[in-house]
């Protein structure tokens, strides 16, 4: 039986002891009703896990005794950044959750010419915080040891101009003349990092695809059928993880 996992800041673990507070404490004590002596797993979101025993509930925290600490190898060897056009409704919530489960290192939302929802300022920051909370929950549920970075939403042209420092930049577009990932596998060989760009419900315009190509992006397709943006995001991440990561 797997141990219940709780996210803690890295500085909450020191000299064989740890503390758990806030929402994680409420979940530990009120939801799971764990008693002193129970064994749990603490993770810091940056790669380290700690097996620990609940020593006592005191001073508004759970005081823990750390049994052992280690850095498990559960993260993909391929650093995947998903640049995703913001979709309607709660589609982006779902995409962030599934992309996190599939091992992406970063999610970078953007607005393109066919993007319907647009927001900035306080509303944009609220959305970003919501997506980060979803990523935290999904990382914990899926046993990941790192939490994906959730970037601030950006414009399409600004996204293209960023220095992503990735081995390959792939824009998934239904107008890519049938060029698939299999050909890129032979061309690139092994990759350690990749940027995956997926468009909104209306896809990309030809002009946007041309601008991407001018910035060094490779346009590729996902087969003969037209996919919803949330389906395309999952399919694209699965494809690159299968070819260069740890899926399969």
Model confidence at 183, in pLDDT bands (50, 70, 90)?
confident
Q: Which residues, 6 or more positions from 163, have their beta carbon under 8 angstroms from its beta carbon?
A: none
Contact 169, 240 (CB under 8 A): no
Supply the mean pLDDT for the chain: 91
Share of the chain above pLDDT 70, in %: 96
Q: Which of 16-30, 109-123, 139-153, 185-199 has the lowest mean pLDDT?
A: 109-123
Q: What is the CATH number of domain 79-244?
A: 3.40.1280.10
Q: Which of 2-16, 36-50, 73-87, 117-131 has the lowest mean pLDDT?
A: 117-131
**Dihedral of alpha carbons 189, 168, 173, 136, sign:** positive
- Tell the CATH topology of 5-70: Ribosomal Protein L25; Chain P (2.40.240)
Instruction: Give the 3-state DSSP-derived string for 103-152, with helices as H, strands as E and coil as C.
Output: CCCEEEEEECCCCCCCCCHHHHHHHHHHHHHHHHHHHHHCCCCECCEECC
Give residue limits of the domains in the chain. Answer: 5-70, 79-244
Share of the chain above pLDDT 90, in %: 75
Report if pTM > 0.75. Answer: yes
Model confidence at 185, in pLDDT bands (50, 70, 90)?
confident
Model confidence at 177, in pLDDT bands (50, 70, 90)?
low
What is the pLDDT, as a whole number, of residue 178? 59
What is the pLDDT, as a whole number, of residue 184? 80
């Amino acid at each position: 039986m797997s141990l219940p996992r709780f996210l803690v800041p890295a500085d909450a673990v020191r000299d064989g002891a740890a503390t758990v507070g806030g929402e994680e404490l409420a979940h530990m004590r009120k939801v799971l009703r764990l008693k002193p002596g129970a064994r749990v797993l603490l993770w810091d979101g940056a790669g380290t896990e700690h097996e620990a025993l609940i020593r006592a509930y005191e001073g508004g925290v759970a005081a823990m005794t750390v049994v052992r600490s280690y850095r498990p190898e559960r993260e993909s060897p391929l650093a995947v950044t998903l640049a995703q056009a913001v979709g309607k409704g709660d589609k982006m919530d779902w995409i962030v959750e599934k992309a996190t489960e599939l091992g992406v290192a970063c999610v970078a939302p953007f607005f393109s010419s066919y993007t319907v929802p647009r927001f900035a300022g306080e509303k944009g920051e609220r959305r970003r915080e919501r997506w980060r909370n979803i990523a935290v929950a999904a990382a914990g549920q899926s046993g990941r040891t790192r939490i994906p970075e959730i970037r601030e939403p950006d414009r399409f042209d600004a996204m293209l101009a960023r220095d992503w420092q990735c081995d390959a930049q792939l824009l998934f577009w239904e107008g890519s003349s049938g060029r698939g990932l299999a050909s890129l596998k032979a061309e690139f060989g092994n990759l350690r990092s990749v940027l995956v760009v997926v468009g909104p419900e209306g896809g990309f315009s030809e002009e946007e695809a041309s601008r991407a190509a001018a910035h060094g992006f490779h346009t590729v397709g996902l087969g003969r059928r037209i996919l919803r943006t949330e389906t395309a995001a999952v399919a694209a991440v699965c494809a690159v993880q299968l070819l260069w990561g740890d899926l399969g």
